[in-house]
Structure 1
């Protein structure tokens, strides 16, 4: 009974103060889902939410891709976007954009969709505030390598099951509709599992 009372009081206080209460799914931070949009005839990955940037203490530490974290390079961490993918991050408050390469996993904080290097955050003019509402866009046609492009296209296919049905019905590329995705590919919390 005491625990329930504390939770109710905390929720009431947060509601009155206008502070968002973190919502955890299975003990993991909850973030808005990645979705697919169409731009100039191309299907692109879009992730909207809050951006933050790496603390200085992470400079030089090994990222999920195996390379050292470098605060001076335009890189980022995402829980859902493919490693090696190029993404355009736009600060929704001021319209400034920066291109980054996803080379790490995270952030593991509610509502945050991307964690930027300090140089990328500086280009978005978000250093002083620490966070900013952003739109992250990943276009298959703008990927730096064939491998990155294939990973992005695969993620697009995973998020648009209608594409697989349409391809199967039309017989595009001589296939019968299965693009090779598996049930486990649809999990949106890739990464280290922290």
Structure 2
């Protein structure tokens, strides 16, 4: 398409961005992007005779986005207390949308694990609503998350939080403490 537009309007471009961000799977129903398939498709296009001359002096750029950073981050939050309301198990954590806005902002569910229960090898599972400490109904990580049995003081890991965590969140919202951000090598 870009080839046709440039030819039609006599445009002289120097760069083509082939990826404005590649996604990552947040749930078991989503598949990881197939880089070999993308590579194969791009090679087919680039090797066509009509494009070779056109692309000779053009820089091709990729912006991998979440594909690079998304799965490299884990948000850890502590369960402040548990409660039951209308038959539903609810966990209130010390961090919320002020630290990790994405789940509430676009209803994107991240995989969540109970780190403490894994270490203690708890076998029983329950479904929980996981909410933050803020006084707003949207402060929720997941409305129905299956976790190993969870207790006050447990630590939850919210996976795939390396992109759009700290940088996207409302850190000063309602004057709650800022999260720590640690980098491990």
Q: Same fold (TM over 0.5)?
A: no
TM range (shorter): under 0.3
- Normalised TM-score (structure 2): 0.25
- Normalised TM-score (structure 1): 0.25
Between structures 1 and 2, the one with greater helix share: 1
Q: Which has the larger radius of gyration?
A: 2
